[in-house]
Amino acid sequence: MTAWLAARRAEGLPVLLIGTDEQGDVDCFDADLTRPVLLLVGNEATGLASAWRERCDLTVRIPMTGAAGSLNAASAATAVLYEIARQRRLASR
């Protein structure tokens, strides 16, 4: 995957490598997700491996209230992909 990402960037495609993490840099709603994104989602037990986290341009968190600290991987991916689609829909207006 890193070779693919490097090749796309060399071609001029500004792909942003984003990882999900409950301790992420910013809430996913506050990140600019309108440009091309390659989304990394870790597993429910340990999240992203540190090697992947270090490669990320940005890590995003899904703001949550209550006792739960994280979502399962499918739910986390769904939430962030929805936010990507929402931002792109608004940007195209």
Domain ranges of the chain: 1-64
Report the C-alpha dihedral over residues 69, 71, 76, 78, rounded to 10 degrees.
-140
Q: Which two tokens stand for residue 39?
A: 């989304």
pLDDT of 1 over the 90 cut = no
pLDDT tens for each residue of 7-21: 999 999 999 999 998
Residues 54 and 4: their CA atoms lie apart, in Å, by 17
Options 3.40.1280.10, 3.40.190.10, 3.30.310.80, 3.30.2350.10; CATH of 1-64: 3.40.1280.10
Strand partners, 60: 20, 26
Alpha carbon separation from 56 to 66, 68, 89, 93 (Å, rounded): 28, 25, 24, 29
What is this structure's pTM?
0.87
